[in-house]
Amino acid sequence: MRNRFDEQLFELNREIIEMGALCEEAISNAVKALVTGDVILAGSIKEKDNAIDQKERDIENRCMKLLLHQQPVARDLRTISAAMKLITDMERIGDQADDIAEIVVFLDGHIVDNMELIEEMAQETIKMVTNSVDAFVIKDIALAQQVIEQDDIVDDYFLRVKRGIISLITDQAVNGEVALDLLMISKYFERIGDHATNIAEWVIYSITGMHKGA
């Protein structure tokens, strides 16, 4: 009985890793598309997002079945409930990567000159997502903690990008629509950073049983 349960937990763990990897790929592809103005790559992110959504449903099903059939307690219960929270955040990351890609398609290869800051912000966000998935994979509290701290950096980037965009508008260097799109993109990155932070918090919860809010 226990053996079968362990086997299912193992499968659950694997599926979450796969979903995390898909999120990483979605966001890094979105950034690549944004930087290079690659519209085809941007279009392909939709598929990644669909795969992520499918994965979320699969994992949800698995978790429900485990909860109903095995009625886990203590650590196992924490693992499963944390998994259910994790995947919602991962799914949101996938959605936002797709949203960024949509804007890239909308910009249609139009690359703005001072993209460096957004690019730096994107790299920092990718690092956060990777670290949060890594923290889950190797069950590393310190790494999860680092992700939570990293969020401040991304938030800071958002403010700087915002100021940059304001000055772009006042200088009339770009048209208003592009400026707004850029603002949206940076907001999406900021939100992705928040989701990565959430993931890190749930990772800590699944290991220690303590959640930040509690």
Residues that bind another protein in the complex, under the rule CB under 8 A: 7, 10, 13-14, 17-18, 20-21, 25, 133, 137-138
Q: Among positive and negative, which fits the CA dihedral 83, 88, 92, 97?
A: positive
Kindly tell me which of 42 and 179 has the beta carbon lying closer to another protein: 42
Kindly tell me which of 16 and 183 has the beta carbon lying closer to another protein: 16
Give min distance, CB of 3 to another protein, in A: 12
Give min distance, CB of 16 to another protein, in A: 10
Kindly tell me which of 7 and 177 has the beta carbon lying closer to another protein: 7
Give min distance, CB of 84 to another protein, in A: 20
Give min distance, CB of 22 to another protein, in A: 8
CA nearest neighbour of 110 among 158, 179, 183: 179
Kindly tell me which of 138 and 214 has the beta carbon lying closer to another protein: 138
Give min distance, CB of 135 to another protein, in A: 12
Which string of DSSP letters, residue by residue, matches the chain? -HHHHHHHHHHHHHHHHHHHHHHHHHHHHHHHHHHHT-HHHHHHHHHHHHHHHHHHHHHHHHHHHHHHHH---HHHHHHHHHHHHHHHHHHHHHHHHHHHHHHHHHHTT---S--HHHHHHHHHHHHHHHHHHHHHHHT-HHHHHHHHHHHHHHHHHHHHHHHHHHHHHHTT-S-HHHHHHHHHHHHHHHHHHHHHHHHHHHHHHHHHS--TT-
Kindly tell me which of 137 and 184 has the beta carbon lying closer to another protein: 137
Kindly tell me which of 15 and 91 has the beta carbon lying closer to another protein: 15
Give min distance, CB of 129 to another protein, in A: 12
